[in-house]
Amino acid sequence: MEAQNRMTPSPKIEAGLQHTIKSEIGCSGTGLHTGETVSILLKPAPANTGIVFRRTDQIGNGTEIPALVENVVEATLCTTLGDKDGVTIATVEHLLAALAGCLIDNAIVEVDGSEVPIMDGSAAPFVFLIECAGTIAQDTPRRTIEVLKHVDVELDGRQVSLSPGNGFSVGFEIDFDSNVIGRQDMNVRLVNGTFKGQISRARTFGFVEEVDQLRRMGLALGGSLDNAVVVSGDEILNDEGLRYEDEFVRHKILDCVGDLYLAGAPISGHFEGYRSGHAMNHEIVRALFADPSAWRYTEMSAVTESGIEPQPLAATA
C-alpha cells in the first residue's frame, strides 16, 4: 500500500464529539472480486455527514452512496451498496470496520471503480491509512444507537441478536466442517484499542475447492494468497500460516463491525452471532430499526483514545 500522504498517528479522541480525518489520504490495490486495480481517496467531511462513498469514475461529479443499511443491494460474499440508478460499490465492510474502529464518524470515500480494494484481506491497512491522515474533533456531539431490548433474527440454523449492554461488544461463534477451522468462538468488548489490537489484522478466508466455482460466477477474480487465508483440506496454503490461532472467527467479527456501522452511528449494545454472515448482519440492523421501542439515539459522554465508552446523556429524536 502506498499512502499518498503520511502524518503522525491520530491524537486523542475528544470525549463526546464527532470526528473526521484531518487530511486527505489514499491508496490503491486489487479488487477481490473484480480483479481490477482500484484507488480510493479518504476525505474529511462536515459533522453529521456520516460515511459516504463516491464513485469518481461515473459521469459528472460522481455518484454518492451513503453507507446505510437501506442502501445494501447485495450480500453474497461481501457487502455491496447501490443507488436507485444501479450504481454499486462492493466490498465496503473492511474499510467500514476500520472507520468504526478508529471512531471516524464523517468521511467521504472516493472510489474510481466498483469495488474497494481488498489490500491484505484485513482492515489493518485501512487503520494505518486513517492513522496516517490523523483525526480531528468536530464541534458536534457524537450519537450512539442505544439498544433498549433484545432483538433477534434466525434463519436456516444461523442466529444473530442485539441486546442492551454497556458500550459495544461482540460475541461470535463459527462452526465449519473443516479440521483447520472447526468450531471457534470469541467475545470481545470493543474499547481501548481492542479493534486495532485484536481484530483488525484478521484476514478474509476461503476454501481452495470453491475458487473455480466462484470465478465461473465472476467472483474472487482478484483473490490470492496475498489477500486471503486459503484452506485446502487440512492445510493452510499461505506460507506464513495464520496471524492468530482463531483468525477465522476474528475475521467474522471484523466483518460484523463493518456491517453494523451501516446503522449510521455506533451501536451501544451487545451483538451475538452464530454462523452469521453479511446478510444476517444487515438483517439484525433492519430488525432493530423496525421496532421503535428497541432503540434510541443517545449522546456519547466518554471516549478514550482508541475505544468508546458510551453513556446516555440526553435521548434525541
Which residues are tagged catalytic? 278
102, three cell numbers: 478508529
Q: What's the CA gap between 171 and 251, in Å, rounded?
A: 12
Using only C-alpha atoms, the chain has a radius of gyration, in whole angstroms, of: 18
- Say if residues 273 and 281 touch (Cβ distance below 8 Å): yes
Helices (H), the chain: 93-101, 124-133, 194, 208-216, 247-260, 278-290
Q: Where are the beta strands (DSSP E) in 77-196?
A: 80-82, 88-89, 107-111, 135-141, 143-147, 151-155, 158-163, 168-175, 183-189
- Say if residues 20 and 136 touch (Cβ distance below 8 Å): yes
